[in-house]
Amino acid sequence: MRQHHAEVLIPNADAFCQLAAEKDWLCGKNQRSLFSPLVRDPPREWTDIAKHVEEVLARPELVKFLCVLEKHNSNLLKQKVGAERKVRAAPFLLGYHLFYILLNVKQRKANLAKMPVLGQQPAEIRSHFHEAAAKAKALARLVRKGPQPPVALAARHRPTETIISLFEPCRMIRSPDRRKAIVSLDRLLDDAAASLEEVSGKISHTRWHRKTGRKQLRHWAIGRLASAFRERLNHPYHSHIATIVTVLTDIDTDEDYVKKIDKRRPGGHNS
């Protein structure tokens, strides 16, 4: 899934406060937040999750790691500021990742409830998407032989498309540019077929797992955080992940368990 990093406008790198930046993203003061004015009427479940994440970030167990992030982000901003006093930067926000983890698990649970095919074995799911794509292509060929209704596609809207791409299996089909467009039905069917084929290629042995309980949340959180920390912070911070996951799931988790899960996941590391 394509993701974006939160951005904030920092007037003074020395004044950066990690917890304040986290809260700004969660309440919509950050312009790249899912709750910014650019995103109208976010679902109630989003705001509920954001409140939960804010409560998690306020837990005393996370103070030490928030200090680590604050130091990292302060150093990052100092490097980018240079002679300027204002700079657009992308500090690492833990709340963004926790929100994504919780919403992703919730969305998976909702998808399993309304889309029973996603509860099948990976091979069966891939077969379903391949078959659906083939039928869409066949229908497109049939439609092309005679008159077909035109279809109006909405103009591109980056915030909306980013949100959909984060939490939905299939990508949104939109106008090719920022203006609305009128397209033929056969073209729309071909685009839908391509989207279905794209999804089938992303299905792994774990992504569509039927279970969505606390243990699965713990497993998903470890993989997500270890990957994000290694990519953005150049260190997996296994012991801190253990603390975060324990707070997030209420399941006691130690550093050794985090290392084991991190090593098992695709592209995992020993360190």
Q: How far apart are CA 172 and CA 159, in angstroms?
A: 12
What is the reported pLDDT for 267? Answer: 57
Tens of pLDDT, residue by residue over 79-117, are 755 544 444 457 899 999 999 899 888 877 777 777 778
Residues whose CB falls within 8 Å of the CB of residue 101, separated by 6 or more in sequence, listed in order:
217, 220, 221, 224, 225, 248
Q: What is the pLDDT of residues 7-52, one digit of tens each?
A: 444 444 456 899 999 998 888 777 667 676 656 667 788 889 999 9
Q: How confident is the prediction for the chain on average, in pLDDT?
A: 80
pLDDT at residue 166 is higher than 60: no
- The three-state DSSP-derived secondary structure of 184-245 is EHHHHHHHHHHHHHHHHCCCCCCCCCCCCCHHHHHHHHHHHHHHHHHHHHCCCCHHHHHHHH
Total-model pTM: 0.67
pLDDT of residue 191: 92
Tell me the pLDDT tens digit for each residue of 55-72: 999 999 999 999 999 999
